[in-house]
Structure 1
Amino acid sequence: MTLRRGIAAAAVAIVLTLLPNTAQAAESYPDPQPITGQQIIHDPTVIHLRSGGYVAYSTGGVIGARLSKDRVNWTDEGNAFAEPPSWWYEYNSTGDPWAPDISYRSGKYWLYYAVSSWGTNHSAIGVATSNSGLPGTWTDHGKVFTSETTDTWNAIDPALIRANGKLWMSFGSYWTGIRMVELDPRTGKAVEGTTVHHLATRPDAPYAVEGPYIVKHGRYYYLFASYDACCAGVNSTYKIKVGRSTSVTGPYTDSTGKPMLEGGGDLLLEGHGRYIGTGGESIFQDRGQDWLAYHYYDAEDNGTPKLGLNRLSWTKNGWPKVF
C-alpha cells in the first residue's frame, strides 16, 4: 500500500500470480466512479467526517490530504502535518510517511501511518489524533509497533478494526506477508508482548502481498490485500484479492476454501483499460453503503496514480463485489 518496498521492482513485476481467480472476468470490472478536481493520490484512506464532507489521506508529502464536499470533486489541502515528526528520520532520510489509515473512535480521529525505506523491514507504524480529522490539526503520539531486519514481518501498511471488544491492527508487506497485533484502545499502541498473528502469504518469493484491510460483514471478517507490484506506473501489476474468516485473527480462506496462508484469495479487482495496477485499497462507509477506495495508474496520463472509488456490494453467498 505504499510507494515502497524495494525488493527489486523489476523482479516483482514478473511475479505471476498462481492464485485462483473466482471474481468477474476482466472485461466486467467496473471503472471507478467519475471524479473531478485533484485526482492524484496513492494509497488512499477515506472517511466521511462527522462535521460533513470527506477527507482522504495518502502516501506523498507529509501524509497528503484531499477534501471533498460530495465525494466527487476533490481539492488538494496540503498535508496532515506541516513538518515530519523528528522520529520519522530514524527510518528514512527524508521523513517520508506511507500508507495512512484513518478511523474514528472514543470521540476523536486516529491516523495511523508507516515510515520505512525501500528494500528494508527496518520500519515503524506511528499514530496521531485529531478532534476534527482535518489536515493541520493532528498531534503525533509516536511509535505504535516496529520491525527490524531480524524480524520475519514488515511494520508498514497499517489498518485498524474493532472486534469482540478488542482493537486490532493488520499490517505487512512482503517479508512473509500480512500480520496482525492487538492494540491498547487507550493509547492506540501495541499491547506489550502481543502475539503477532499471521494472516496471509503466498508460496512464491518475494511474497508479494501487502496493504491489508479488514472489515466485518455478517458473521465474517473479510481480509482485502494488494498482490504483485505497485509503484511502476503503467507497468504496475497490483490487484486486490480477498478472503474471509469467522475470527478476526483467521484463518482466512477464499471461496474455494483455500487458505490465504497457502496462497488463496479471490480476485476482486484488477487493472483493465486505462485503469492499471488497482490496489493500495481501503474501505469506508457512507450512509450505510460500503465503498472501496484505491489507486490506479492512468494509462492515458503517463501512468499517474489517481483515486479510484467504487461501491462495494455483497453477493447472496456473502462475498464482496465492486460496482
Structure 2
Amino acid sequence: MGIVRRLAGAVAALLAAAALAGCGAVVPAAPELSGDVFVHDPAYVATDDGHFVYSTGNGQIGDGNIQIRRSDDGASWEYAGEVWASKPQWLAEAVPGVDNLWAPDLYEHDGTWYLYYSASTFGSNRSVIALATNTTLDPEDPGYEWVDRGAVIASEGTDFNAIDAGVVEDEDGAPWMAFGSFFSGIHIVPLEWPSGMPAAGGEPVLIADRGLLENAIEAPYIVPRDGWYYLFVSRNLCCKGVDSTYEIVVGRSRAVTGPYLDADGGALLDDGGTVVLSGEGDRIGPGGQSTSGDLLAFHFYDGAADGVPTLGILPITWRDGWPAVEWPSGT
C-alpha cells in the first residue's frame, strides 16, 4: 500500500484531541479552508513536504493541464501551477477535441508518485486514462519533473468510459485501478508495479452499476480498512452548478473485485450504496472524492457563490464498520 496516501499519521496536524463518545476513537478535525479552494475532482494527499490537491484543469489556463494547489497545514491553500505547460501531443490524436484534463488520482509506491488523469470530451466515451510519474511532489526539489508515460487504458469502441481513475493495492500488494463514468458503470482492472500499467492478461471487471437508462455513477475510489475494501462513488449529476445533484455513496467487499454491498445488503451492481455525504443548504452536490488518512476530500458547488466548484475536506468517522461524514454545523 502507498506509504503516504493511506497513512493516517500524515495528517497528524489535523487530528482532534477529543474521542468519540462510546467508542474511544480519535478522528481528525475539519480544517477551516481558506485561500484558493476553487477545484473540481480533488486528489488530496498529505506528505512531509506539505498537503497537495491535484484537480481537473481549466482549458483557459495552462493549456487545460491538471492543476496543483499546496498547503502547509491542510487549511490555507495556494495555487501552485499546472503539471505541464502544454498537454502531451499524443492526446490530441487519441481524443480529438480534448480541452482540459480531468479527474486526477495520486498514488505513491516505492518512492515514485503515479499521477493518473483522464482525457475526454463531455458525454463521450472516446476517452483515455493516462499516466505521469515523479519522484517527488515538492516543486522545489531538483528532481521534480512529471514524466509522461502515455496511455493506460482507452475506451473507444467499448461499453465503458475510461475516466476517473482510482488506484488501490490489495492485501498482497498488487495494484488495481477502478474507473468509470456513466455508460456501463464502474470497472476495475489489475495493474502491475513498477510501470503502473495494466497487468498482462488483465481485463476490466464490472463492480458497480445503477442499471438505469442514465447510468449516473462515476468517480470510484477504494479504501482498504480492517480487511474490507470500501468503494466510494459519486452518483447523480455533477457539473450543473447549483442544479447539481451529486452525492457520495459507499459499499464494501472482502475482495477488491467485489461484490460490493451497502450497509443494508444492497448490491452496488444493482443501484445500491449507503449515503456518505449529500448536499446541505448552500453546499450543493458533493462528489469527486478522495481520501488521505481519515479525511475525505471532495468538491461541492457553493450556492452562496453562484455554484462555483469548491474544495471540501471533512473527517471520516467510522461507526460499526461504516464511514460517516457530516457537514460542520453553523457554517
Q: Kindly indicate whether the alpha-carbon contact (under 8 Å) linking 2:35 and 2:76 is maintained by their aligned counterparts in 1.
A: yes
1:244 maps to amino acid: R
SS where residue 226 of structure 1 aligns? strand
User: What is the TM-score when the length of structure 2 is the normalising length?
Assistant: 0.84
* Cα separation, 1, equivalents of 2:106 and 2:173: 19
- Of 281, 284, 302, the residue aligned with 1:273 is 281
- Report the counterpart of residue 302 of structure 2 in structure 1: 298
* Greater displacement, 174-183 / 92-101: 92-101
> For the Cα contact (< 8 Å) 1:88–1:95, is it kept in 2?
no
Match of 1:168 among 165, 176, 192: 176
How many residue pairs were aligned? Answer: 286
> 1:152 and 1:94, CA in 2 relative to 1: closer, same or farther beyond 3 A?
closer
Q: What aligned pairs does 1:14-53 form with structure 2 within 5 A after superposition?
A: 33-50=31-48, 52-53=49-50
For 2:135, the equivalent position in structure 1 comes to: 131
Query: Could you tell me which residue of structure 2 aligns to residue 235 of structure 1?
Result: 243
Contact 1:55 1:134 in 2 (8 A): no
1:42-74 CA distances to partner (integer Å, 9 max, x unpaired)? Answer: 000011123x21111000131011000000100
1:213-245: CA deviation from partner (whole Å, max 9, x where unpaired): 000111110000000000000000000000000
Aligned-pair CA distance for 1:203? 2.3
Spell out, residue by residue over 1:247-306, the C-alpha distance to the aligned partner (whole angstroms, 9 max, x if none): 000000001111100111001100101100100111112xxxx11000000000010000
Cα 1:70–1:36 shift into 2, 3 Å? same
Root mean square deviation, CA, Å:
1.5
TM-score of the pair, normalised by structure 1: 0.86
- 1:1-323 paired onto structure 2 within 5 Å: 33-50=31-48, 52-60=49-57, 61-90=64-93, 91-134=95-138, 137-148=145-156, 150-163=157-170, 164-285=172-293, 290-315=294-319, 317-323=320-326
What secondary structure sits across from 1:234 in the alignment?
A: helix
Q: Is the 8 A contact 1:284 1:292 kept in 2?
A: yes
CA distance 1:243–1:271, shift in 2 (3 Å): same
Displacement after TM superposition at 1:34 (Å): 2.0
Supply the distance in 1 between the matched residues of 2:245 and 2:310 (Cα, whole angstroms).
15
Q: Give deviations 1:178-206, integer Å, cap 9, x for gaps.
A: 00000111211112331211110112111
Which structure has more RCO (C-alpha within 8 Å, separation ≥ 6)? 1
Quick one: distance in 1 between partners of 2:193 and 2:222?
17
Pair 134,245 (structure 1): closer, same or farther in 2 beyond 3 Å? same
C-alpha separation between the residues in 1 aligned to 2:96 and 2:262?
Answer: 36
Show structure 1 runs of 5+ residues with no match: 1-30
Amino acid at match of 2:164: D
Q: 1:92 & 1:35 partners in 2: Cα distance? A: 37
The letter of the residue matching 2:158 is D
Instruction: Tell which deviates more after alignment, 263-272 or 188-197.
Output: 188-197
Letter in 2 for 1:74: W
3-state SS of paired residue (1:300): helix
Distance between the aligned counterparts of 2:118 and 2:200, measured in 1?
19
Q: Relative to 1, partners in 2 of residues 1:94 and 1:219: Cα closer, same or farther, differing over 3 Å? A: closer
* CA distance in 1 between partners of 2:185 and 2:297 (Å): 21
Asked if the contact 2:98/2:121 (under 8 Å) is kept, the reply is no
1:5 corresponding residue in structure 2: none
Deviation at 1:96, TM superposition (A): 2.0
Identity of counterpart residues, as a percentage? 41
